[in-house]
Amino acid sequence: MNKKDLLFLKELTEAPSPSGFEVPAADILRKRLAEVADSVETNVLGSVHATLKGKGNGPSVMIAGHLDEIGLMVTYISDEGFISFEAIGGVDAAVLPGMRVNMYPTGEESTQGQVLRGVMGRKPIHLIEPDDRKNVTKIEQLFIDAGLDGKKLKKLLRVGDPITYGVGFEEFGDGFAVARAFDDKIGVWAAARVLEEVKKAGGAAGDVIAAGTVQEEIGLRGGITSAYDINPSIGIGVDVGHATDYPDINKKKYGQADCGKGPIIARGPNINPVLFERMVAAANKLKIAYQIGPESRGTGTDANPIQLSRGGKVAGLVSIPTRYMHTPTEVIMLSDLEAAVKIITCCILDLDEKADFVPR
Active-site positions read 216
Q: Are 273 and 292 in contact (CB under 8 A)?
A: no
Cis previous bond, 336, omega within 30: no
- State how far the Cα of 51 lies from the Cα of 36, in Å rounded to an integer: 9
CA distances from 349 to 206, 212, 279, 289, 342 (A): 9, 21, 11, 19, 11
Cα of 234 vs its chain's centroid, Å: 20
Sign of torsion over alpha carbons 252, 277, 176, 237:
negative
Give the whole-angstrom CA distance, residue 148 versus residue 146: 5
Q: What string of DSSP letters covers 201-248?
A: TT--SS-EEEEEE--GGGTSHHHHHHHHHH--SEEEEEEEEE---STT
In sequence order, which residues have a C-beta less than 8 Å from that of residue 172 and are 6 or more positions away?
A: 178
CA–CA dist 131, 128 (Å, integer) = 8
Is residue 297 within 8 Å of residue 270, measured between CB atoms?
yes
Cβ-proximal residues to 146 (8 Å cutoff; 6+ apart), any chain: 81, 83, 103, 116, 117, 118, 119, 153, 157
> Which residue from 63, 69, 66 is spatially nearest to 104, judged by alpha carbons?
69
SS3 content of the chain, % helix, strand, coil (to 5): 30, 25, 40
What DSSP designation does 59 have?
P
Task: State how far the Cα of 147 lies from the Cα of 27, in Å rounded to an integer.
Answer: 31
